[in-house]
Amino acid sequence: MKGRLYLALVHHPVRGRGGDEITTSVTNLDVHDIARTARTYGVAGYYVVTPITAQRDLIHHILGYWREGKGGDRVPERTEALSIVKDIESIEAAIAAITALEGVAPRVVTTAAKARAEVTSFESLRTEMAADDGPWLLMFGTGYGLADRVLDRADVHLAPVRPGGYNHLPVRCAVAIILDRLLGDG
């Protein structure tokens, strides 16, 4: 891959069970496990997006344990993985942060369990990313997925992991599968 890939785990704006726009809670496992997967695949940065200050404080607490606390002393590899995690208040702020780092805005890729009218296959996106020097931002939604207003603004809509039928993977698993399909050896 030529360009650098960034991830965003979006807690707002996402859909609730009834389709309404909500904010979900940050979980320790999502912060921790997605960071490990992202670091394994060479992701440049992992943004956990939430507008709630108390949730960002929780992220700081988790990161502190692994970066400066007993966790980091005990398992240094986790310190390295969590070094790419940043809490941020909005998708717009994540895009601005990447733009400041890279000098150009990232192309935004959304994921969803259900296909939209126009989707890009994993193979096509992998090829496009390999040919493009610019940064990419791959967004994952919590709850019942990214809000429609987020999906509507994306540059690329990635095909679902399993189109049709039952498809309600935990976000940690979806991240691992998608990163492997886009950046893996096979």
Average of per-residue pLDDT values in the chain:
94
CB 41 within 8 A of CB 184: yes
Place of tokens 């979900």: 24
User: Which backbone phi and psi does 84 adopt, to 5 degrees?
Assistant: -90, -5
Q: Which of 184, 94, 112, 105 is nearest to 152 (CA)?
A: 112
Helix (H, G, I), strand (E, B) or coil at 129: helix
Q: What is the pLDDT of residues 114-130, one digit of tens each?
A: 877 789 999 999 999 99
Residue 33 confidence (pLDDT) above 90: yes
What pLDDT was estimated at residue 1? 64
Kindly state the helix (H) or strand (E) to which residue 128 belongs, with its residue range: helix 122-131
Domain residue limits at 169: 5-183
CB 182 within 8 A of CB 128: no
Q: Which of 48, 12, 14 is nearest to 29 (CA)?
A: 48
- 45: domain CATH number is 3.40.1280.10
Distance, first Cα to last Cα, the chain? 14
Q: What average pLDDT does this structure show over 152-167?
A: 88
Residue 163 confidence (pLDDT) above 90: no
Q: What is the pLDDT of residues 45-78, one digit of tens each?
A: 999 999 999 999 999 999 999 998 888 889 888 8
Number of domains in the chain: 1
d(CA 172, CA 62): 17
Q: What percent of the chain has a predicted confidence (pLDDT) above 90?
A: 81
Q: What is the pLDDT of residues 86-101, one digit of tens each?
A: 999 999 999 999 999 9
What pLDDT was estimated at residue 6? 98
Residue 42 confidence (pLDDT) above 90: yes
Helix (H, G, I), strand (E, B) or coil at 47: strand
Residue 3 confidence (pLDDT) above 90: no
Both structure tokens of 143: 């709850």
